[in-house]
Amino acid sequence: MSRFAPSLLWLPVALLLALPPRPAAAYLTVTADTDRSEVEINGSLYLTVQVAGDSSNVPEPKIPNMQNFNIYSSGRSQNISIINGKITTSVTFTYMLSPRFIGMQRIPSISVSNGKESAATREIEITVTKAAAAQPRQQTARPTQSRVGRAAAQRQAKAGSQIFLKAETDKKSAYPGEQINLSVKFYTSVPLTSNPQYMQPALKNLLAEDLPPVRSGETDLSGLRYSYSEIKTALFALTPGTAEINPATVIAQVPSNEPLDPFDANFFQKFMSMSGMQGKSREFSTDKITLEIKPLPKGAPADFSGAVGKYTVTASADRQDAKTGEAINFSITVAGSGNLKAVTAPKLPDLADFKVFDTMSSLDVRKDGDLINGKKTFTYILVPRAAGSKTVPAVTFSFFEPESGRYRSIQTKALALNVAKGGQEAKSVYFNPSGAAPQVTASGSDIRYVSDVPRAGPVADSADGINRLPQWLHLFPAVLLLCTFWLSRFNRFKSANPLLFRFRQARGEAARDLAETEALIKAGKTAEAVSLLYDSFMDYLSDKCGIKVSALTIKKAVEAIKQRFPGVGERSIAEISELWSALELRHFAPSAAEPEGARDLAKKYSLLIEFLEKELKKK
C-alpha cells in the first residue's frame, strides 16, 4: 500500500484558512414588552424583559437610566430545558414603571451581553395622560403604618412641614439572611407638578430587593390632610455586626410661592416656571438608620450552607424508565420565603449506580405580600451505569428558621428508577469457567480476505503520482498558508490604520489626477481640468493631515498643517496658500481669475507636491 506525503495535509488547511470566516450563529436573544401603551400619570405599568440563550446561565438585562420613569424590580422566572443534551434557558424579568411626566415617553433600548454575543430590544413608546377624576379611596387599600412611624410623621406635621420624607424598618435587629422591610413614605399637603423621583439609599452590610408596587393614599396629621406615596424594599444582612441604611432621597417639582417682581431681570423665566408645569425642584432626605445583625446560633447541621428562611424541598426526575447510557434529569426544588439567590445546591448522597454531572440552577422569585418567596431548582444529569431497579436516596436540606430561632433539616422522598439494558449493554460477553472446551458458534463475519492481486485504487494512485513530483513543489501549500496569513495580517493592519495608508497613498493619487488633468487640457476642457486640480489638491492635504481640509478656511488649514507637521517651513506654507488661492479663484470665479492657464496651475501643483513630499518628512 502506498504512503501519502505528509506535506499534502497542508493543502486543505491552507484552503480553509484562505476562505472568509463565517459569522457565528446568534443564540442570545432579548425581547421587551409592556402590559399597556397608555397610562395615567398617577398609575403604573409592567415591563417584561425575556432573555433566552443556549446555556444554563443567561446574563441579566442592562436597564438603562430612565429619567421619565421610576423603575422597580417585580420578580423573575426561569425555565431550563435539556433535550438530547442541548440546553436552552429562558429568563423573564418583570419590572414596574411609574411615569414622572405627562406626554409621549420612551423606554430606551435594553441590551444584554454574555461576553461573546450581544442583543438589544427596540424602543417602546408610552403615552402618559393626566390623572382621571379622583375617586373615593378604599380603606383596605391603604398601607399599614407602625405607631413609631406615625408618631414621627405627626411631629413633622406639627412642625409645619408641608412636604417631608420618613423612613422606618419593621425590625431593628435580625439574623444574616433574614428579611427586613424598609418603608419610605413621601408626604405632601401641596400639589406637585410631576411625580417625584426616588433615589435609593446607600446600604452597608445589606442587600436590597424592590417590593413593588408603590402604595399611595391620604391621611390626617395634626389636623392637616396629606397625600403620601410609600416605597418598600426588602433587605438582607450579609454578616453579623452593624448594618446601615443611609438617607434616602426624593426629588420633587414643587410650585414656587415666591412673589414676582415685574422689574426683575428673570421675570419672564420665573413667570413661565410658576404658570407652567415645571415648578421648583427640591430635594428631601430621610434620617440614617442603624440595625443590629445577630450571629446565627451554634449547633448548625453538618450540611448547613447558610440558607435562612422557611423552605420546603422536593425531588423529581423527568422519567421513571430509562436505559443504561441515557441521561436522566434529576431535579431538587427548594421553595419558600427567604433570600433564594443565596441558597446553594444540596449535597447529593453517594450514587454508585450513576454517573453524576455538574448541576444547573434556575430561579423563580415572587414578591407577594411584601415577602420575597419563590423557588430555586437544581438539576443534575444522572447516567445509569447498569440495568436493574435503581434508587436515588433521599436528599437532605438544612436551613435556619428565624421565626423559631433554630435549625431545621428536611428531606426529599427517595426516587425509584427502572433501568433497562441499552444498545451497548446488549452485546455483553459471558465467560464459561467449566473445564470442557466450549462450542464455538459463528455469530457473524468480521474477516475479509486479502487479495493477492495488487489493487491500489484511484486515491492511492493519485498519491503516488504526487509523491513523484519534485520536492520543492511540496512546499507550495506551506507557502500558500504563509501568504494567506500575511495577507490577513496586512488587511487587519490596514483597517486599523486608515490614516497611515492615506498618508502614503496621497502622492500616487495626486499623480493619477495630474495625468487625467493633462488629458482634459489637451481636449480643451480647461474648466473641468481646474476643477479636478482643486479637488485633488484638497484631497492631498486631507490625506496628509488626517482631517477634511476642504471644509476649512485657508488660515485654519495652514494652522492644522503646522500643528501636524512642525518641521514645515514658511516657504512651503506660502506656496500652499498661493496655489490654494489661485485654484479657488479659478474654480469658483472663472471670470475674475488672473490670466494664468490651467497648464501652469498643473505644473505648479506638480512641483509643490515634489517639494512637500520632502518637507512633510521633517520632524
CATH code (residue 557): 1.20.120
Task: Single out the residue in 98, 128, 158 at which a domain terminates.
Answer: 128
Q: Return the number of other C-beta atoms located less than 10 Å from residue 64's C-beta.
A: 12
* Shared-domain flag, residues 86 and 156: no
Lowest mean pLDDT among 416-430, 465-479, 512-526, 546-560: 416-430
Nearest to 378 by CA among 389, 362, 402, 401: 362
Contacts of 507 (CB under 8 A, 6+ apart): 540, 609, 613
Query: In the predicted model, is pLDDT for residue 266 greater than 60?
Result: no
Output 282 or 257, whichever has higher pLDDT: 282
* Shared-domain flag, residues 512 and 608: yes
* Shared-domain flag, residues 168 and 278: yes
Stretch 93-108: mean pLDDT, rounded? 89
Contact 248, 289 (CB under 8 A): no
* Shared-domain flag, residues 395 and 288: no
pLDDT of residue 459: 60
CATH code (residue 320): 2.60.40.740
Stretch 270-287: mean pLDDT, rounded? 66
pLDDT of residue 447: 41
Q: Does residue 455 sit within a domain?
A: no
Task: Single out the residue in 399, 424, 449 at which a domain terminates.
Answer: 424
Contact 58, 27 (CB under 8 A): no
* Shared-domain flag, residues 322 and 383: yes
Output 189 or 83, whichever has higher pLDDT: 189
One-letter amino acid for residue 9 of the chain? L
Nearest to 170 by CA among 237, 218, 233: 233
* DSSP label at residue 369: G
One-letter amino acid for residue 221 of the chain? L
Q: Does residue 282 sit within a domain?
A: yes
Contacts of 107 (CB under 8 A, 6+ apart): 32, 34, 47, 66, 69, 97, 123, 124, 125, 126
Distance of CA 500 to the CA centre of its chain: 34
Contacts of 307 (CB under 8 A, 6+ apart): 177, 334, 338, 342, 343, 344, 397, 398, 399, 400
* Nearest-angstrom CA–CA distance, 510 and 533: 9
SS3 content of the chain, % helix, strand, coil (to 5): 30, 35, 35
Count of residues in the chain: 619
Residue with cell string 430621610: 286
Nearest to 217 by CA among 251, 186, 194: 186
H or E stretch covering 114? none
* Shared-domain flag, residues 398 and 527: no
Stretch 126-146: mean pLDDT, rounded? 61
Q: Does residue 467 sit within a domain?
A: no
pLDDT tens per residue across span 416-437? 999 998 865 444 333 333 343 4
Lowest mean pLDDT among 293-307, 342-356, 599-613: 599-613
- Strand 289-293 and strand 173-174: the pairing is parallel
* Shared-domain flag, residues 234 and 208: yes
| Number of independent structural domains in the chain | 4
pLDDT of residue 11: 47
Q: Does residue 399 sit within a domain?
A: yes
One-letter amino acid for residue 356 of the chain? V
Contact 399, 337 (CB under 8 A): no
CATH code (residue 178): 2.60.40
**The model's pTM:** 0.58
* Nearest-angstrom CA–CA distance, 422 and 386: 9
pLDDT tens per residue across span 449-491? 444 445 555 666 666 666 666 766 767 777 877 887 777 776 6
User: Confidence band (pLDDT; 50, 70, 90) for 535?
Assistant: confident
* Shared-domain flag, residues 201 and 328: no
* Nearest-angstrom CA–CA distance, 211 and 372: 8
Q: Does residue 59 sit within a domain?
A: yes
Query: In the predicted model, is pLDDT for residue 247 greater than 70?
Result: yes
Query: In the predicted model, is pLDDT for residue 196 greater than 50?
Result: yes
* Shared-domain flag, residues 174 and 288: yes
Q: CA separation (Å) from 432 to 205, 435, 437, 441, 442?
A: 70, 9, 9, 14, 17
Q: Does residue 447 sit within a domain?
A: no
Three-point CA angle 264, 266, 272, nearest 5°: 120
Nearest to 360 by CA among 161, 77, 79, 128: 79
pLDDT tens per residue across span 360-376? 889 999 998 899 999 99
Query: In the predicted model, is pLDDT for residue 444 greater than 90?
Result: no
- Collapsed DSSP state (helix, strand, coil) of residue 201: coil
Q: CA separation (Å) from 545 to 264, 379, 500, 617?
A: 52, 62, 10, 12
* Shared-domain flag, residues 405 and 532: no
Strands (E), 318-438: 321-323, 328-338, 354-366, 373-384, 388-392, 396-401, 406-411, 415-420
Task: Single out the residue in 374, 396, 424 at which a domain terminates.
Answer: 424
* Shared-domain flag, residues 184 and 281: yes
pLDDT of residue 501: 59
Lowest mean pLDDT among 191-195, 383-387, 524-528, 547-551: 547-551
Q: Does residue 15 sit within a domain?
A: no
Share of the chain above pLDDT 70, in %: 73
Residue with cell string 430561632: 405
Contact 332, 412 (CB under 8 A): yes
* Shared-domain flag, residues 152 and 284: yes
Lowest mean pLDDT among 280-284, 386-390, 454-458, 481-485: 454-458
Query: Where in the sequence is the domain holding 234, given as residue range(s)?
Result: 146-259+272-293
Q: Does residue 24 sit within a domain?
A: no
pLDDT of residue 85: 63
* Nearest-angstrom CA–CA distance, 190 and 255: 8
* Nearest-angstrom CA–CA distance, 132 and 143: 22
pLDDT of residue 410: 96
